[in-house]
Amino acid sequence: MTEPRKESRNPFSAARGLLSGMRTTARTMTRPAHTQQYPDERPSLPPRSRGVIALREENCTSCMLCARECPDWCIYIDSHKETIPAGPEGGRDRQRNVLDRFAIDFSLCMYCGICIEVCPFDALFWSPQFEYAEVDIRDLLHEKDRLGEWMATVPPPPALDERSADPAEVAAANRPARTAREPRAAREPGTVREPRAPRPPAAPEADG
Amino acid sequence: MTGLDLTVVEIVLRSAAVLAAFLVLPLLVGQMEHKVMGHMQGRLGPMYAGGFHGWAQLVADGVKFIQKEDLTPAAADRRLFRIAPALALVPYLVAMAVVPVHPGWVAADVPASALFVLVASGVSILGMLVAGWASANKYSLIGGMRSAAQLLAYELPLVLAVASVCLAAGTLSLTGIIDAWSPVWLLWQLPAALVFLVAAVAELNRPPFDMPIADAEIVMGPFTEYGGLRFAFFLLAEYAGIVLFSVLFAVLFLGGWRGPAPAWTGWLWTLLKALPVAFLIIWMRVAWPRLREDQLQRLAWLGLVPVALGQLALTAVVVVAL
């Protein structure tokens, strides 16, 4: 087994190989099958399964990052700007983007997940839902209302590993607050930083 | 009981019984193959047809086969092409008619039934040869030639193994062999039994001896051009062959209907002894890889034939000495 060799002429080693084949199959037969009877029995999918991409519409700012990063350009976004008038106490009018259309063509999507990674506002999520087959390939272009329905199937993010670093949000919240900087005049004169000494000139490279 | 004093009604009834067994038992073996093979590979096999664990899968397959178009290639030898499946199938039906399953239960009790069975099963291989030639297809032809080579190589040890049993029993009649059988034969005729089993599997072109139909290299061998009902007939012939050779193994080497139970359970004993043999044939298919053509010939001529000849000599010596 360790090295390639010519076929064994020894009938006993051949018989041993044949018997081990029969033993393996017999053992497999006496154990439960690995089959999941899918339509009758829901598959147990791992938490990060890539079934479909769901959209949380209110988080989307129409920034178009996902559409631009998409390797096969299967995300379609239309938006327009709306002006929010200034409040009663001064200020100025502000503009915000309003999403008109967000569509993903799942006949083109290659499930790379780049759009989800790149979204800065957590508007796109993986959902393990996979049962959206269609008879006609053109029916796989799904608009934002359908993408929004899939948000209900997005599982909560899996817990972090035992000793992993805190997530960025938690680490930021736990960081000790910065103390207010004292006014410059209150500092002692002696503590004024001296100008930094000039760096010694870099040693010439010995490359000839 | 000679075959001459039967009334017409009796002949019809016996033929109908053989036909019924011929149509039901291969399906049972086929279903067993589906399920056993599935579980040996960690699968479940058919689960839906018929509702309970896919018991009707082969019936559904049959319905599907019937619906398919009956194609004949333009370049084929039409008459031979069309008759080949029948040529493969009918000999097994004929052979089954002379195999005894119960004291007195044999559709046609011919005097030299052991010889008759061997001849009939040999004719069945001709069906594959004819199919291979008549299809006008290179893969079919290669498969047919391989089938012919296999027939030549494995018919000899098969006949020698049966000859040893016939010699031991002193008769060519299968009924007579069962009457002469005694448990000592299990040891005495063991080499013949092994040779018979291996040669029978080769005769049926089943893995590990499926070189003639090796689907990975010559598509489906002689069956390449066949579809629909004619293809189904070839499949049925294969499973009917498993049934025939399993029962024949039980009759020749395991004492047929003899068992420690009331006489009326004879047929049950025959089936009970044939079942593990059929299971073993299926098991070999699942567990073992296909033999190359030269390995196949080497096994037959350098392995089985000498063993069978040795067994024949041993049997002859024992019969003469005692």
- On average, the pLDDT of chain B sits at 86
- Please report residues of A whose CB lies closer than 8 A to that of B48: none
Query: Measuring CA to CA, which residue among B134, B31, B2 is closest to residue B78?
Result: B134
- Res. A202: pLDDT tops 60: no
> Percentage of chain B with pLDDT > 70?
98
Q: How confident is the model at residue B308 (pLDDT cuts 50, 70, 90)?
A: very high
Q: How confident is the model at residue B264 (pLDDT cuts 50, 70, 90)?
A: confident
Query: Measuring CA to CA, which residue among B303, B188, B315, B202 is closest to residue B253?
Result: B188
Per-residue pLDDT, averaged over B214-239, amounts to 87
Task: Please check whether residue A138 is in contact with residue A108, taking contact to mean a CB–CB distance below 8 angstroms.
Answer: no
SS3 string, A181-195, reads: CCCHHHCCHHHCCCC
Give the one of B41, B43, B287 whose C-beta lies nearest to A21's C-beta: B287
Q: How confident is the model at residue B151 (pLDDT cuts 50, 70, 90)?
A: confident
Give the one of B36, B40, B43 whose C-beta lies nearest to A35's C-beta: B43
Phi, psi at B207, each rounded to 5°: -55, 140
Burial B132-156, CB ≥16 within 10 A → b, else e: bbbbebebbbbbbbbbbbbbebbbb
Per-residue pLDDT, averaged over A80-91, amounts to 85
Per-residue pLDDT, averaged over A101-128, amounts to 92
Strands A75-84 and A94-105: antiparallel
CB–CB contact B40 A28 (8 Å):
yes
Of residues A65 and A193, which shows the higher confidence score?
A65
Which pLDDT value is given to residue B23? 86
Tokens of B77: 């030898």
Residue A8 contacts B, CB cutoff 8 Å: no
- Please report residues of B whose CB lies closer than 8 A to that of A34: 42-43
**pLDDT tens by residue, B17-35:** 888 888 888 999 999 999 9
Compute the radius of gyration of chain B from its Cα atoms. 20
Distance CA B221, CA B7 (A): 44
Q: How confident is the model at residue A102 (pLDDT cuts 50, 70, 90)?
A: very high
